[in-house]
Amino acid sequence: MRSEEVKRGVERAPHRALLKALGLTDEDIDKPFIAVVNSYSEIVPGHIHLRRLADLVKVGVASAGGVPFEVNTIAICDGIAMGHAGMRYSLPSREVIADSVELVVEAHRFDGMVLVTNCDKITPGMLMAAARINIPSIVLTGGPMLSGNYRGQRIGVASMFEAVGRFERGELTLEELRVMENAACPGAGSCNGLFTANTMACMTEALGMSLPGCATAQACSARKERIAVETGRLAVRLVKEEVKPREVLNEEAFRNAIVVDVALGGSTNTVLHLPAIAAEAGVKLSLDVFEDVSRSTPQLCTISPGGSHTMEDLEEAGGIPALLSELRNHINLDAKTVYGTLRDSVAKASILRRDVIRPVSSPVRSHGSIAILKGTLAPEGSVIKLSGLRDENVVMEGPVRVFDGEEPCMKAVMSGEIQEGDIIVIRYEGPRGGPGMREMLSVTAAVSGMGMGEKVALLTDGRFSGATRGISIGHISPEAAEGGPIAFLEDGDAVKIDLPRRKLDVLLPREELEERRKKWKWTPPEHAMKGYLKRYLNSVSSASSGATLN
- Catalytic residue numbers, as ranges: 465
Neighbours of 29 (CB within 10 A): 18
Alpha-carbon distance of 238 to 216, in angstroms, equals 23
What is the DSSP secondary structure assignment for residue 147, as one 8-state letter?
A: P
Q: Which residues pair with 341 in a beta bridge?
A: 336
Alpha-carbon distance of 342 to 256, in angstroms, equals 10
- Burial (CB < 10 A; 0-12, 13-18, 19+), residue 178, is exposed
Q: Which residues contact 476 (CB under 8 A, 6 or more apart)?
A: 377, 378, 382, 430, 459, 460, 461, 484, 486, 504, 543
Alpha-carbon distance of 533 to 366, in angstroms, equals 42
Q: Which residues pair with 190 in a beta bridge?
A: 144
- Give the total residue count for the chain: 550
Collapsing DSSP to helix, strand or coil, 36 comes out as strand
Tell me which amino acid residue 526 is.
E
Q: Which of 24, 73, 1 is nearest to 236 (CA)?
A: 1
Alpha-carbon distance of 346 to 328, in angstroms, equals 9
Sheet strands side by side (includes 471-477)? 370-373, 381-385, 471-477, 457-460, 423-427, 395-404, 494-498, 503-506
Alpha-carbon distance of 6 to 109, in angstroms, equals 7
Q: Which residues contact 376 (CB under 8 A, 6 or more apart)?
A: 485, 505, 506, 513
